[in-house]
Amino acid sequence: MRKVVRILPPVLALLLVATMAQAATAPKPGAVCTKAGQSITVSNKKYTCLKSGKKLLWNKGVVIPSPTVRELTYETELSPINLAAYKEFIKSYKSRMTSEVPNIEFIVEPNMDKVLLKQIVDNINVSAKFFAKERPLNVPLKIWIAMSSQFQWIYDNMKEVLPAQQLDGGWLDMKLARSKAEPSGFMGGGAAGDTKGGIATLFFNGSTRANWGDAFWAQVPAHEFTHVVQRYELGNTMGPMLCWVREGNANYYGWLIAGRNSQAAYRNYWLQALSRVPTMGGVTDYQSKSAAYWSDFFVQNEMKKPNECDPWINYIVGAMAFQYLGGTYGNDAIQSFYLGLRDGWKGVCQYPISSEGIPCSSWKAVFKKSFGATPDELYPKFGQYIADEIKWAKGKQVYWDQEALKIAPIPND
């Protein structure tokens, strides 16, 4: 159909312009108007034509309140122990920051997303500074970074630099297979151990779904760097650590460092984590479990091998155990525990880990020395805290992605 453009006659056009201009001008109070009840609003003030005796006059006008823009507010409240752990971390974090530059080499695949790259680099540097007392900043570290769609690049580099024993179990092959099956969804990282030349390594793989509003991406840099610290403290081995000790500690610091500039952001990350438990191969009915169930979880964990740390529930429950320890005993006690694990097995076991893959029981003595109570004495307290924390989280609002990003800016200090 052919469109027809109609052009108004010049005189009519000028009259319309004049009328519009008049409409934008406030009437003079007391001036004559033509129709009772007629009103006009100019600059948030409403003028009405009213009958005054036999005349119709404009009134003085009534101010119309400007519509207020409702600002979204985000809760910051945490359960008492978790809040104590967060405050303890913030105090320790602020005292540990330094202008010294960590000795880190970032090796980046050319197609890496620049925003995700910056998030990794910023948060690795902060993590290195936070842990400088445990792992000095001048100790070298090499990090390979790529998108999951380019995971073959990570795979080839790791194969080249890592000794054969670091690749036992085919874990890197499994990651490569997953990257091919989920090129846009697979994201994470890995603390692969030392190179053939004795330099610690990390790698990170981003995805098109990764963003700082997702706790599982936000915590990855600090989580994996925590594993580097663990290896350094323990003499390049993960052997003396139980599953909940190894992964729970990495998750604990991962979320704290990611949420360091906003208690509301940290709280939201934590709610995201708890909300995802049933979707990550964990305990589907976890919200109904008793404190005794979670206490027994730690007893059973003592017999788990390092390759049995999945599913995700081990990571979450371990993080809650460290929340209890951090909120009750402080960060220095946690670090004392890790430093003690390095040589604690000597004179007790022949090796830090048995031929079945179970850590030497000496870790319990180190635990008591650090926290003033045995693991068996604290397991029931862990269990009660976990049950209470799950109850605290139930029904609370969880924000994701772009909405979550409104809570606080991405930290880059």
Question: Is residue 362 within 8 Å of residue 343, measured between CB atoms?
Answer: no
What pLDDT, in 10s, does the model give residues 324-372? Answer: 999 999 999 999 999 999 999 999 998 888 878 889 999 999 999 999 9
pLDDT digits (tens, 9 = 90+) for 390-408: 999 999 999 998 889 888 8
Report the distance separating Cα 366 and Cα 25, nearest Å.
Answer: 81
**413 Cα distance to chain centroid:** 16
Give yes or no for a contact between 364 and 239, defined as CB atoms under 8 angstroms apart.
no
pLDDT value at residue 86: 97
In the prediction, which pLDDT does 1 show? 40
Helix (H) or strand (E) holding 171: helix 171-181
Q: What is the pLDDT of residues 15-65, one digit of tens each?
A: 433 343 344 478 888 888 888 888 888 877 888 888 888 888 889 888 877
Q: Is the pLDDT of residue 312 over 90?
A: no
- How would residue 14 be classed by pLDDT, with cut points 50, 70 and 90? very low
What per-residue confidence (pLDDT) applies to 71? 55
Average the pLDDT over each of 90-99, 258-267, 353-362 and give the range with the smallest value: 353-362
More confident residue, 104 or 38: 104
pTM summary value: 0.81
pLDDT digits (tens, 9 = 90+) for 74-88: 899 999 999 999 999
371 contacts 325 by C-beta, under 8 angstroms: yes
For 35, residues 6+ apart whose C-beta sits below 8 A from its C-beta are: 49, 56
Distance between CA atoms of residues 107 and 122, nearest Å: 15
* Cα radius of gyration (the chain): 31
68, pLDDT greater than 80: no
Number of H helices, E strands in the chain: 15, 8
Q: Mean pLDDT across the stretch 376-380?
A: 98
Nearest C-alpha neighbor of 76 from the set 60, 92, 87 = 87
More confident residue, 238 or 370: 370
Ordered strands of the 200-206 beta sheet = 104-108, 141-147, 200-206, 188-194
Confidence tier at 96 by pLDDT (50, 70, 90): very high
Which residues are bridge partners to 63 per DSSP?
45
* Listed residue (128, 278, 276) closest to 216, CA to CA: 276
The answer, yes or no, to whether residue 66 has pLDDT greater than 90, is no
Determine how many CB atoms are found less than 10 A away from the CB of residue 196: 11
137-185 pLDDT, tens per residue? 999 999 999 999 999 999 999 999 999 988 988 999 999 999 999 988 8
Residues 217-242 have a mean pLDDT of 92
User: Is residue 4 very low, low, confident or very high in pLDDT (cuts 50, 70, 90)?
Assistant: very low
